[in-house]
A and B are shown apart, each in its own frame.
Chain A
């Protein structure tokens, strides 16, 4: 029984982590055209929550330090003397792929949560006969 509860904790933490990741992706996409914006990435870590329960948690947010895109637009208010300004280093294709993966993992966690819930349900059903 406590195994099943631990299982639900793990699944919930997985959904939470994937949701956080999805939020980062949304922020990156929203700021794809913001000058000087560095894309945010987040790491996942395995954690041992209280006692037996194991789960996943998100680590610190990192700013991608790859070079910012140089955009040529002399009319832009932030353009330098050479007519270039620093764009963001967000690659939409990468973000979309990341979002897809996060969505898929979220769904997998949800499925495991639902299955655990059903298993607990059938246990209780047996008790209530």
Chain B
């Protein structure tokens, strides 16, 4: 039997992706009034994830340091070192930046937050169902 179950692997990656995104979005919201702060996000899961056997490494996300202050933060900081494709993007600009150079739009961040919750719930739901199926195959109910 294969030691890693693809569907669980995928769900785990999605849950992890959601958690990393959640950390970034919360940081954006916390800095919603910080002068000069640029909103951050990472690429959608579908763009990063590669199925087993695909060309790109499948569960590597590496958030890159995109600002001078990111020496210890961002990529390595999020504990994602070694997981590729998870570079921090500063592209979450909606509308014009405010006068103090801040590009965080609370409404946009809330929408992203809702999306993250949805993805996280989906990942955990898949894990739960997969575990149920595994249990059923083992002949134990519940």
Contact = CB atoms under 8 A, between A and B. Distances in A.
Chains A and B form a bound pair: yes
Interface residues of B, number: 40
B78 A3 contact: yes
B132 to A, nearest CB: 9
Contact of B26 (A10, A17, A101): A10
A4 B25 CA distance: 11
Contact of B19 (A3, A11, A46): A3
B37 A51 contact: no
Contact of A105 (B32, B74, B79, B116): B32
Contacts of B109: 108, 112
Q: Helix, strand, loop or mixed for chain B's interface?
A: helix
A4 B22 contact: yes
A43 B35 contact: yes
By DSSP majority rule, is chain A's interface helix, strand, loop, or mixed? helix
Interface residues on A, range: 35 or more
Contact of A119 (B19, B31, B127): B19
A70 interface: no
B29 A44 contact: no
Interface stretch (A29-37, A52-60, A61-69, A75-83): A52-60
Nearest to B74: A54
7 closest pairs, A vs B, by CB?
Answer: A14-B30, A52-B77, A3-B19, A7-B26, A44-B34, A7-B23, A3-B23
